[in-house]
Structure 1
Amino acid sequence: MILAQITTSQDTADIVAESDAVSILDLLFQGGFMMIPILILSIMAVYIFVERVLTINKAAKTPEAFMGRIRDLVERGDISGAKVLCQEYDSPTARMIEKGIARIGSPLKNIEVSIENVGKIEIFKLERNLSLLATISGSAPMLGFLGTVIGMIQAFIAIAQEEGSVSPKLLSEGIYTAMITTAAGLFVGILAYLGYNYLVTRVQKVVHKMEYSSVDFIDLLQEPR
């Protein structure tokens, strides 16, 4: 009998706990209208991150033996073969070298300028939308703070309109609802900030590889024949 009462009491407590528990989805819906722009920013951040990762991975696929094969073709005088080899790879390094090969016979300074101009264009393509991701990392927390301030104002208005004593439940509900937007904004901002720094590091690695390849190609053209 006592065991049955304990079991019944435990079941009742579990039911009450489940009814009082608030899921994360419910909390997000209680965050108010400021959750809409935060949600939009989160979708944009995810899209930019995935799109940039795919683009950078594609740009970094130039094989290590690429410059060695270019060196062999140029030293044999097979300029057309070197161009065809560059066209086989859809990468910034290959496009830079292809531009330099197309300028062989021109002054070395002109070749360097041509390669540098192509490199600037390729770097711009790699860094596209990174500034927008950085903006999201800073604006999402600010929107969260704004939503919290608006929610606190609404909570205090509701408290002021209450007659008599204010229940702790009313006060706590208004405060935690207002804080939801801050938590959501910080979450989106932190993820966007981490994603931005990761992408910047990846872009820098590709740029260093481009610079090394261009210097190697210029050195090749300066070697005595």
Structure 2
Amino acid sequence: MTKNNRGFLNVLCLGLLCGGMVLAQEAGVDVPTEAASGGTSLWDILYGGSIVNLLIWIGLFGTSFVMVWLAIDGFLIVKKDKLIPAGVVTGVREALSQGDLGTAIATCDANPGALSNILRSAFDNINDGYEVVQQAVSSSTDLESEKLMQRVNYLNICGQIAPMLGLMGTVTGMVAAFAGLASATGAAKAKLLAQSISTALWTTCVGLIIAVPALLFFTYFKNLATRILLETEVTVLDLIKVLRNAEVEGE
């Protein structure tokens, strides 16, 4: 990845992590970055009086970074011109139309990818008959789909982990909040409880901010990858249909 892409990734991660706090400030919630009399500092939110809470925030930050990284990776990988290169289609079509199987294989070898892998599986089984070739194409397409979906599924994992981390942070924060009430008396007790609960709920808020786009990206890339891979299989079957004609003519 280029330096410009890395810089964009870092900026996007930072914006995602701070988005919830910005929205809260616009809504009138007091989230100061420095401790004030009776207020809540950013460190109070991140640390929350417990190292466990800090570890949960580190997990949320890491999940958000991975989510953004996978989203960028999806935009770079799950593309029609990436999975179905026009050069490979044209080169294989011209080679097969001239009966030059060797050139078609060389074209696939020179341009590795999902389409080339599926075509190679067809060429490797050409001596076993056209029905076997079709089965090889179908099996190879399923394999390429599984390989691609393994990368896309990580977005789904991020979408599930983030709210769970957020809920864990809220639960641990609530436990600490009620435990701290033992040392408070009078009106200070209610104020301490409200402040502690508000701080604890930040993890759930940020977890949802991460989970929603992660699941949206997952659904988008999953549907797009499925459609493109089905189109890839159709393209391969269209390219190799001349092999069936050649086999019939040879009988």
Looking at CA atoms only, which structure, 1 or 2, has the larger radius of gyration? 1
Deviation at 1:131, TM superposition (A): 2.8
SS at match of 1:121: helix
Instruction: Give, in whole Å, the separation in 2 of the partners of 1:27 and 1:76.
Output: 73
1:87/1:205 CA distance change after superposition, 3 Å:
same
Q: Is the 8 A contact 2:166 2:206 kept in 1?
A: yes
SS at match of 2:128: coil
Q: Is the 8 A contact 1:59 1:91 kept in 2?
A: no
Deviating beyond 6 angstroms after TM superposition, the runs of 4 or more aligned structure 1 residues are none
Deviation at 1:44, TM superposition (A): 2.7
Q: Which among 175, 183, 198 is matched to residue 161 of structure 1?
A: 183
Q: Which residue of 2 aligns with 1:94?
A: 116
1:129/1:104 CA distance change after superposition, 3 Å:
closer
Q: Is the 8 A contact 1:144 1:182 kept in 2?
A: yes
TM-score (ref. length: structure 1)? 0.76
Deviation at 1:200, TM superposition (A): 0.8
SS at match of 1:115: helix
1:138/1:25 CA distance change after superposition, 3 Å:
same
Q: Which among 51, 65, 70 is matched to residue 73 of structure 2?
A: 51
Q: Which residue of 2 aligns with 1:29?
A: 46
Aligned identity (percent) is 24
Q: Deviations over 1:58-112 (max 9, x none)?
A: 8725344644543332232111121122223222112212332333333112212
Instruction: Give, in whole Å, the separation in 2 of the partners of 1:27 and 1:82.
Output: 64
Long gaps (5+) in structure 2: 1-29, 34-40
1:65/1:21 CA distance change after superposition, 3 Å:
closer
In angstroms, what is the RMSD of aligned CA positions? 2.8
Q: Are 1:186 and 2:203 matched, yes or no?
A: no
Taking the TM superposition and a 5 Å limit, the aligned residue runs for 1:1-225 are 22-23=32-33, 26=43, 29-30=46-47, 32-33=53-54, 34-57=56-79, 60-64=82-86, 66-166=88-188, 169-223=191-245, 225=249
Instruction: Give, in whole Å, the separation in 2 of the partners of 1:68 and 1:104.
Output: 20
Q: Is the 8 A contact 1:27 1:180 kept in 2?
A: no
Q: Is the 8 A contact 1:112 1:218 kept in 2?
A: no
SS at match of 2:111: coil
Deviation at 1:172, TM superposition (A): 3.0
SS at match of 1:166: helix
Q: Deviations over 1:4-62 (max 9, x none)?
A: xxxxxxxxxxxxxxxx7514955752553221222222233233333344333487253
By relative contact order (CA 8 Å, sep 6+), the higher-ranking structure is 1
Long gaps (5+) in structure 1: 1-19
SS at match of 1:129: helix
Letter in 1 for 2:144: E
Q: Deviations over 1:180-211 (max 9, x none)?
A: 11111111111211221222123123212212
Instruction: Give, in whole Å, the separation in 1 of the partners of 2:43 and 2:223.
Output: 37
Instruction: Give, in whole Å, the separation in 2 of the partners of 1:211 and 1:25.
Output: 53
TM-score (ref. length: structure 2)? 0.69
* Aligned pairs, number: 206
SS at match of 2:126: coil
